[in-house]
Amino acid sequence: MINEYLQHFCEEENGSLANFSKEFEQSYLKGIEKKTKVYLAKDGLKSLDESEIGLDFFKSIADQVELEFSKANKEIFEIEEEVTLWVNVKNIKSLHVKIFEFNTETYYKKNL
């Protein structure tokens, strides 16, 4: 989640996270700045400085495996409402999901 916030501020500050240099290591901030530049490049590689952002960095982003719950998911459901969750995936060929049902009455009795 911190990466998302920093990426947001990086977009607002035209690719710079200098304001956060006291709170985070410089190498960490540079990595987020580079990644944000890659994601925001509208004309592909043409607008990017190849000396700063190399082919290995592009390959690492392309090969990255990501799995996260979507921000569009509801957080609270009504009783008997069907629960649907959206998941954002990247570079995942198959995903196995186990579904568990909790007995909420027993849980609350045990844990008050």
**Hey, how many other C-beta atoms are within 10 angstroms of the C-beta on 103?**
9
Give the per-residue pLDDT at 89: 93
Tokens 């719950």 found at = 69
Per cent of the chain over pLDDT 90 is 29
pTM for this one? 0.58
Q: How far apart are CA 10 and CA 110, in angstroms?
A: 46
Q: Where does residue 71 fall: left (phi above 0), alpha (psi -120 to 50 degrees), or beta otherwise?
A: alpha
Residues 6+ apart with CB under 8 A from 8: none
Question: Could you state, in order of their start, the residue ranges of all structural domains in the chain?
Answer: 2-111
pLDDT score for 24:
92
